[in-house]
């Protein structure tokens, strides 16, 4: 079910623009044009994800609708045509998500970003480190208002423990002076373990001297805030740092993923498989490395077109995910795939590969209403202690034999020597 957005706005054209933005984010929209209408709507139902509130309404010229909506616990964004400092202070003294001056069309682009953050911020976990419970609670309240997931710690030592427990923490906001381990030491420790691409650090200090900001940054922090800070500046810095981390993650994902199937690409597979194999050998875990190739795939393209071929590649990826959920799967290129699997023993591993091959061979893949049948050839190597590149080579040789022997089969590397 879609989330609901309350739009409090007396201008019809502006309400229409906000409605379009909200729909693009899959919100269901309820519009109120006066304070009386707001009261009426909220007396019946307060189940709103958020609200946008025009500061001046025909029956509430001085922002009275803001307190009304906030009193129902609805996170609110204030839109205002008033630019004076007094109005700004008045709005920001209330626990609103943000306020947006309606100066030009940028205001609506910004509104879209704020709503998008509000919908997605719960995926970003932030650790707040401060020995003062009042200061800590203030930051936590600001972050929760923006829907972030928050973890807290009283000092640097506890912060490192929390980081080890919660692997998904993206940002640490740390005070400077704390018992046991201060903010600078903590930042140093964090940078020994986490890169800037993995975790952002924002230092905070009440000291008036500028030296602390430089110390924080030189010790590996990404940003610095001086207390007391205004919520606006706080949100700008948090959002900017989280956005740049998320952009790096997107770039890394794109660099490691096959665009068509969303499986790992060759580079990511080689990197991850090599690490996993080392661990399997060390822990004596049975494993296998298999190369998988679609038989006569050129005929699929020639008979049904390249788009149909692409569709087949995507479906093979889905089957791979289904059969090898705990394994490492990849599209190496063209119609060639690979999987690294670990299991109980060689028989179990072989059966899982052959089950996958068999299911594909008896299934039809519907492409544009036409059922397409395909088969796969697999070459596999078990429990090898050779270098990774050599293992890939051996699996490839076995795959070649599978093709030579008539396709639609699994050939084990070295098996022909035992015959
Ligand atoms: N649709 C589609 N086709 C691709 C893609 N990458 C490679 N191909 C096609 O995959 C086909 C591979 O053909 P061949 O190397 O001759 O192999 P094959 O027809 O599968 O025959 P065998 O492997 O010997 O069974 C070629 O027609 C390529 O154009 C892709 O991303 N999408």
Under a CB-based contact definition with an 8 Å cutoff, are residues 171 and 200 in contact?
A: yes
Question: Looking at the annotation, which residues are catalytic?
Answer: 335
Residues with CB under 6 A from ligand 1: 260, 293-298, 301, 306, 309-310, 313, 334-335, 403, 407
Residue-level pLDDT at 213: 85
- CA neighbours closer than 13 Å in the CB half-sphere of residue 225: 21
Q: Which of 262, 314, 324, 264 minimizes the C-alpha distance to 288?
A: 324
pLDDT over 70 (residue 261): yes
Q: Using the mean position of ligand 1's atoms as its centre, give its distance from the Cα of residue 335 in Å.
A: 5
Minimum CA distance residue for ligand 1 atom 1: 309
Instruction: Kindly report whether the global pTM for this prediction surpasses the value 0.95.
Output: no
Regarding predicted confidence, which is higher, 230 or 146? 146
The partner residues of 177 in beta bridges, in order of sequence, read none
Q: For residue range 53-86, list pLDDT tens digits in order.
A: 999 999 999 999 999 999 999 999 999 988 888 9
- pLDDT (average), residues 176-191: 95
Q: For residue range 319-331, list pLDDT tens digits in order.
A: 999 999 999 999 9
Secondary structure class of 94 (helix, strand, coil): coil
- pLDDT (average), residues 188-213: 90
Query: Which atom of ligand 1 is nearest the CA belonging to 309?
Result: 1
Residue-level pLDDT at 419: 47
Query: Which atom of ligand 1 is nearest the CA belonging to 308?
Result: 1
Q: For residue range 403-416, list pLDDT tens digits in order.
A: 999 999 999 998 75
What token pair was written down for 417? Answer: 């020597």
Secondary structure class of 338 (helix, strand, coil): strand
CA distance 364 to 372: 5
Q: Using the mean position of ligand 1's atoms as its centre, give its distance from the Cα of residue 355 in Å.
A: 23
| Confidence label for 399 from pLDDT (cuts 50, 70 and 90) | very high
Q: Which of 345, 344, 349 minimizes the C-alpha distance to 395?
A: 349
What token pair was written down for 199? Answer: 């975790």
- pLDDT (average), residues 284-311: 96
| Confidence label for 49 from pLDDT (cuts 50, 70 and 90) | very high
Secondary structure class of 226 (helix, strand, coil): strand
CA distances from 37 to 114, 315, 324, 374, 399 (A): 25, 51, 55, 62, 71
Residue-level pLDDT at 83: 80
What token pair was written down for 356? Answer: 């996958």
Query: Which atom of ligand 1 is nearest the CA belonging to 407?
Result: 25
Residue-level pLDDT at 105: 83
Regarding predicted confidence, which is higher, 335 or 232? 335
Minimum CA distance residue for ligand 1 atom 8: 334
Of the candidate ranges 202-211, 256-265, 280-289, 305-314, the one whose mean pLDDT is the lowest: 202-211
Mind listing the domains of the chain with CATH numbers? Answer: 4-119 (3.40.50.2300), 124-254 (3.40.50.2300), 266-418 (3.30.70.270)
| Confidence label for 417 from pLDDT (cuts 50, 70 and 90) | low
Q: Report the residue among 334, 374, 396 best suited for mutation to probe ligand 1: largest number of ligand atoms under 8 A from its CB.
A: 334
| Confidence label for 147 from pLDDT (cuts 50, 70 and 90) | very high
How many Cβ atoms from other residues are within 10 Å of residue 399's Cβ? 24
Q: Using the mean position of ligand 1's atoms as its centre, give its distance from the Cα of residue 309 in Å.
A: 9
Under a CB-based contact definition with an 8 Å cutoff, are residues 345 and 286 in contact?
A: yes
Minimum CA distance residue for ligand 1 atom 29: 298
Residue-level pLDDT at 239: 94
**Mean pLDDT taken over the chain:** 94
């Amino acid at each position: 079910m879609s989330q609901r957005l309350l739009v409090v706005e007396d201008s019809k054209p502006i309400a229409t623009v906000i409605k379009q933005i909200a729909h693009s984010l899959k919100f269901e929209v309820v519009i109120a044009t006066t304070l009386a209408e707001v009261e009426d709507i909220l007396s019946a139902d307060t189940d709103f994800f958020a609200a946008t509130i025009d500061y001046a309404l025909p029956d509430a010229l001085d922002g009275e609708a803001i307190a009304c909506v906030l009193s129902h616990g609805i996170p609110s964004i204030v839109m205002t045509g008033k630019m004076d400092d007094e109005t700004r202070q008045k709005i920001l003294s209330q626990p609103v998500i943000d306020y947006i001056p309606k100066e030009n069309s940028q205001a609506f682009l910004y509104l879209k970003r704020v709503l998008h953050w509000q919908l997605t911020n719960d995926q970003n976990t932030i650790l707040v480190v401060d020995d003062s419970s009042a200061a800590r609670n203030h930051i936590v309240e600001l972050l929760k208002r923006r829907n972030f997931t928050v973890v807290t710690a009283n000092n640097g030592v506890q912060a490192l423990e929390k980081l080890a427990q919660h692997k998904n923490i993206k940002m640490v906001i740390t005070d400077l002076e704390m018992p046991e381990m201060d903010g600078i030491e903590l930042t140093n420790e964090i940078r020994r373990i986490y890169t800037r691409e993995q975790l952002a650090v924002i230092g905070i200090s009440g000291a008036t001297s500028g030296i602390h900001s430089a110390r924080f940054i030189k010790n590996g922090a990404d940003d610095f805030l001086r207390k007391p800070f205004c919520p606006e500046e706080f949100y700008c810095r948090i959002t900017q740092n989280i956005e740049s981390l998320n952009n790096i993650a997107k770039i890394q994902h794109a660099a490691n993923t096959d665009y068509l199937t969303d499986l790992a690409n060759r580079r990511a597979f080689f990197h991850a498989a090599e690490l996993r194999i080392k661990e399997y050998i060390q822990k004596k875990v049975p494993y296998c490395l298999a190369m998988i190739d679609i038989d006569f795939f050129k005929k699929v393209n020639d008979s049904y077109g390249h788009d149909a071929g692409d569709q087949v590649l995507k479906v093979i990826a889905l089957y791979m995910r289904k059969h090898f959920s705990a394994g490492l799967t990849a599209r190496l290129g063209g119609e060639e795939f690979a999987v690294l699997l670990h299991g109980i023993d060689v028989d179990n591993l072989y059966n899982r590969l052959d089950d996958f091959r068999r299911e594909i061979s008896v299934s039809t893949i519907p492409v544009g209403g036409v059922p397409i049948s395909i088969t796969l050839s697999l070459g596999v190597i078990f429990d090898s202690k050779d270098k990774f590149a050599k293992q890939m080579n051996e699996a490839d040789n076995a795959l070649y034999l599978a093709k030579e022997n008539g396709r639609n089969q699994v050939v084990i590397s070295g098996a022909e020597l035992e015959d």
